[in-house]
A and B are shown apart, each in its own frame.
Chain A
Amino acid sequence: MKICVRFVGWPASLFGKSYVWLFFENSPIILRKLLEKLELETGIKINLKDPNLVVLINGKLAEFIGGLNATLKDMDEVIITSISGGG
Chain B
Amino acid sequence: MEYFGYAGKILRINLNTKNFVVEPLKKEFIKLFIGGRGFGIKILWDELSIEIDPLSPRNKLVFSVGPLTGTKVQSASRWVVQFKSPLTGIYCRSVGGGFFGAELKFAGYDAIIVEGRAEKPTYVWINDDNVEFRDASRVWGLNTWATKEILQEETDKRARMVTIGPAGERLVRISAIMTDDSRAAARGGGGAVMGSKNLKAIVVKGSRRISIHDEDALNEVVNEQIKAYREWPSTPPADFKSLGTNTGTYVWYILGHFPTYNFQQREWPSIERFRPEVLKTYVIGHKGCYGCMMQCGKIFRVTVGPYAGVAWEFPELETEWAFGGIVGNSNIESIIVANMLCDLYGLDTISTGVAIGFATELYEKSVISRTETDGLELKWGDPELVVELVRRIALRIGNLGNLLAEGVKRAAELIGRGAEKYAMHIKGLEMPAYDPRAMKGQGIGIVTSNIGASHAVSWNKFEILGKPKRVDPFTVEGKAELTKYVQDEMAVCETAVFCKLIVNHDVINPYFYSRALYAATGIEDFKDPNYLWRVGERIWNLERAFNIREGVDGRYDTLPERLLNEPMPREPAKGQIFELEQLLKDYYRVRQWDERGVPTKEKMLELGLA
Q: How many residues on the A side are at the interface (Cβ–Cβ under 8 A)? A: 25
Q: Are A52's CB and B235's CB within 8 A?
A: yes
Q: Is B571 an interface residue (CB 8 A)?
A: yes
- Confirm or deny: A59 has a beta carbon within 8 angstroms of a beta carbon on chain B: yes
CB <8 Å contact, B240 and A84: yes
CA distance A83 to B255 in the complex (A): 10
Closest to A64 in B: B472
CB < 8 Å neighbour of A85 from B246, B455, B571: B246
In angstroms, Cα B234 to Cα A81, docked, is 11
By beta carbon, the residue of chain B nearest A49 is: B470
Which residue of B234, B255, B275, B459 is within 8 Å of A86 (Cβ)? B459
On whether the beta carbons of A10 and B571 are closer than 8 Å, the reply is no
Interfacial chain A residues near B465, Cβ < 8 Å: 83-84, 86
For residue A45, CB closer than 8 A to chain B, the reply is no
CB pair A82–B239 under 8 Å, yes or no, is yes
- Confirm or deny: A12 has a beta carbon within 8 angstroms of a beta carbon on chain B: yes
Counting CB contacts under 8 A, is B55 at the interface?
A: no
- Interface residue? A34 (CB, 8 A): no
Q: How many A-B residue pairs have CB under 8 A?
A: 101
Chain A residues with CB below 8 A from B233, complex form:
52
Chain-A contact segment, one of B119-127, B315-323, B359-367:
B315-323
Instruction: Say yes or no: B234 contacts A52, CB within 8 Å.
Output: yes
- With a CB–CB cut-off of 8 A, which chain A residues contact B504? 86
Tell me whether B398 is interfacial, beta carbon within 8 Å.
no
CB proximity to B under 8 Å, residues A28-87: 51-54, 56, 58-61, 63-64, 79, 81-87
Report the separation of the CA atoms of residues A68 and B466 in the bound assembly, to the nearest whole angstrom. Answer: 18
Interface string of B215-250 (1 = CB under 8 A from A): 000000000000000001111101110011111111
Determine if A20 is an interface residue (Cβ-Cβ < 8 Å).
Answer: no
- Among B243, B245, B466, B572, point to the contact of A59 (Cβ < 8 A): B572
Q: Which residues of B contact A87 (CB under 8 A)?
A: 245, 248, 316-319, 321, 432-433, 455
CB of B276 closer than 8 Å to a CB of A: yes
Flag whether B501 is at the interface (Cβ < 8 A).
yes
Q: How far does the Cβ of B436 sit from chain A's closest Cβ, in whole Å?
A: 15
- Please name the residue on chain B nearest to A13 by beta carbon: B234
Interface flag for B493 (CB, 8 Å)? no
Given A59-B256, A59-B571, the answer on whether A85 and B247 have CB atoms closer than 8 Å is: yes
Can you name 21 A-B residue pairings with CB atoms under 8 Å? Answer: A9-B251, A12-B277, A18-B275, A56-B572, A58-B571, A59-B571, A59-B572, A61-B472, A81-B254, A82-B247, A83-B248, A83-B465, A84-B248, A85-B243, A85-B249, A85-B251, A85-B317, A86-B464, A87-B248, A87-B316, A87-B321
Interface residues of A (CB under 8 A from B): 8-10, 12, 14, 18, 51-54, 56, 58-61, 63-64, 79, 81-87
